[in-house]
Amino acid sequence: MKYYFAFICAFLLLDSLFAQSPIIIEGRLKGVEEGTMITLMKTEGNVGISVAKDSIVNGRFSISYSPDTQDLGEYSLMGTGEGFPSMSLRLWSKAGNHITIEGKDKLIYSWDVESSIPQQAEWSYFIKANKESWEEYQKLVAQRSTLINTYYDDNVSKEERKVLKTQMDSLDRLASLYNYEIDKSNLALLQKEGKMTEVRLGVLKGIAQAIKWDKREEFRPAVEELYGRLNTEMKESRYGEEIALALYPPQAPQIGDPLYDAALHDLTDRVYHLADFKGRYILLDFWSYGCGPCHASVPEMKELHEKYSDSLTIVSLSSDNRKMWEEASKVFGMTWLNLSDGKENRGIYAKYGINGIPHYVLIAPDGKIKATWTGYGEGSLKRKISEFTGISIVDHANPAGGIGGT
């Protein structure tokens, strides 16, 4: 018995020590200014959270991060400053893993990565196969970012904005050509003999989404053939479901159609259905913690709930994974219905055809869709609710008069 006890103690000690072993990322860079900040992001579902950072000194940086689990996780590196594309270097890592990175410029997405993690080597295979195209693509993205910053400068005239818009459109067309060549190359690589893995499935998902968003129908036969070969487990995985939704998108309900319903749960796992709230107006709020306008909408959402809950039920639907959903709910202090179907953007989000957030769907008391819109600006929810429901909503910034309604 004492030997068994000693074994358990040793195992727990080893487990504890291993769990505390940090991820070490060391980088050697050229063509990047001293003092440039490099940030490590941890991927949680559809959201990236900053977990560590370091600035470049003598062309080097070193980042250490201790994860709270021994599981393999997805991460990314981002660079801050002029010339960096709005893209990040994709990484896989776990406790105790050492990663070495080399770059000769600010084209961070295609920096070279050395790691013992098999997924990293597999991803690097696809990046290196298209490295020249990825580098040209990143240059275009970086140029576009510079133009966008100028476009939104208050000192820029209307005519100058027109010119900038023309330049951005030109860059977008060029970038689309490089994207096409990359997808074409990756599809050929996937068609070669090789076991389908999560990484390869992610690459296939990107091509499937090009069919949906960029109308690359010439890729459809090969993508459908590769998808058809997947086993049930892969088809039911996150990437598998996203591929299916890209290839065969559901028909979203339109204004005047009955609401689409689903089993939804709150953070205590109590189950709800949207049909439970018929008889009053329902506002569906599609949101994520990584969405800035979603953050900005919280005070107005809270006010609507507190003042008008007798005639309006607000149902916020998170696209985040469980961990991020819980953390975001604490930050926002949500007092209204805060639900999820556990499918992130693959369940009710896909059924309602959500392409951007925040997105709102207003449902009439009879259960039919009254209005939909995307985006948030201060006061916009009050105006929309008043416009489409006739509910008299008082503008507390101007209490002498309501926004509208009867």
Condensed to tens digits (0 to 9), the pLDDT of residues 127-140 reads: 999 999 999 999 99
- Domain assignment present for residue 398? The answer is no
Whole-number Å distance between alpha carbons of 243 and 140: 27
Residue 400 has pLDDT above 70, yes or no: no
Q: Give 41: exposed, middle or buried? Use CB within 10 Å, 0-12, 13-18, 19+.
A: buried
Q: Give 262: exposed, middle or buried? Use CB within 10 Å, 0-12, 13-18, 19+.
A: middle
Same structural domain, 291 and 365: yes
DSSP 258: B
Same structural domain, 268 and 237: no
Whole-number Å distance between alpha carbons of 256 and 371: 9
Q: Give 71: exposed, middle or buried? Use CB within 10 Å, 0-12, 13-18, 19+.
A: exposed
- Domain assignment present for residue 402? The answer is no
Q: Which comes out higher in pLDDT, residue 132 or 12?
A: 132
CA angle 391, 336, 269 (to 5 degrees): 140
Q: What are phi and psi of 313, to 5 degrees?
A: -105, 120
Confidence of residue 383 (pLDDT cuts 50, 70, 90): very high
pTM of the model as a whole: 0.89
Same structural domain, 272 and 227: no
- Domain assignment present for residue 381? The answer is yes
Dihedral sign for Cα 293, 294, 295, 300, please. positive
Hey, which residues does 374 pair with through a beta bridge?
A: 359
- Domain assignment present for residue 254? The answer is no
How many angstroms separate the first and last alpha carbons of the chain?
79
- Domain assignment present for residue 394? The answer is no
Is 248 in a helix, a strand, or coil?
A: coil
Helix axes 198-213, 158-191, angle to 10 degrees: 130
Same structural domain, 229 and 280: no
Q: Which two tokens stand for residue 44?
A: 């949680």
Q: Which of 84, 116, 148 is where one domain is finished?
A: 116
Across 1-15, 152-166, 212-226, least confident range: 1-15
- Domain assignment present for residue 327? The answer is yes
Whole-number Å distance between alpha carbons of 22 and 67: 7
Same structural domain, 273 and 196: no
The stretch 208-219 carries a mean pLDDT of 98
pLDDT (0 to 100) of residue 395:
64
Whole-number Å distance between alpha carbons of 40 and 78: 7
Same structural domain, 16 and 110: yes
Q: Which residues contact residue 303 at a Cβ distance below 8 angstroms, ignoring those fewer than 6 apart?
A: 396
- Domain assignment present for residue 258? The answer is no
Residue 16 has pLDDT above 80, yes or no: no
Whole-number Å distance between alpha carbons of 194 and 341: 34
Q: What are phi and psi of 270, to 5 degrees?
A: -70, 135
From the CB of residue 169, how many other CB atoms can be counted at a distance below 10 Å? Answer: 11
Whole-number Å distance between alpha carbons of 186 and 360: 36
Residue 12 has pLDDT above 50, yes or no: no
The answer to whether 385 touches 391, Cβ cutoff 8 Å, is: yes
Same structural domain, 296 and 369: yes
Closest-CA residue to 180 (of 212, 219, 220)? 219
Same structural domain, 280 and 371: yes
The stretch 5-24 carries a mean pLDDT of 57
Same structural domain, 9 and 111: yes
DSSP 30: S
User: Which residues constitute the domain of residue 97?
Assistant: 2-116
- Domain assignment present for residue 396? The answer is no
pLDDT in tens, 50-64: 999 999 999 999 999
Whole-number Å distance between alpha carbons of 133 and 245: 28
Same structural domain, 81 and 12: yes
Identify the CATH number of the domain in which residue 110 sits: 2.60.40.10
DSSP 119: H
Confidence of residue 11 (pLDDT cuts 50, 70, 90): very low
Identify the CATH number of the domain in which residue 360 sits: 3.40.30.10
Is 44 in a helix, a strand, or coil?
A: strand
Same structural domain, 218 and 315: no
The stretch 374-403 carries a mean pLDDT of 81
Whole-number Å distance between alpha carbons of 190 and 157: 48
Do you know the residue count of the chain? 406
pLDDT in tens, 193-207: 789 999 999 999 999
Query: What totals of helices (H) and strands (E) does the chain contain, helices first?
Result: 12, 15
pLDDT (0 to 100) of residue 370:
98
Q: Which residues contact residue 145 at a Cβ distance below 8 angstroms, ignoring those fewer than 6 apart?
A: 85, 86
Same structural domain, 281 and 169: no
pLDDT (0 to 100) of residue 406:
37
- Number of domains forming the structure of the chain: 3
Across 16-25, 69-78, 358-367, least confident range: 16-25
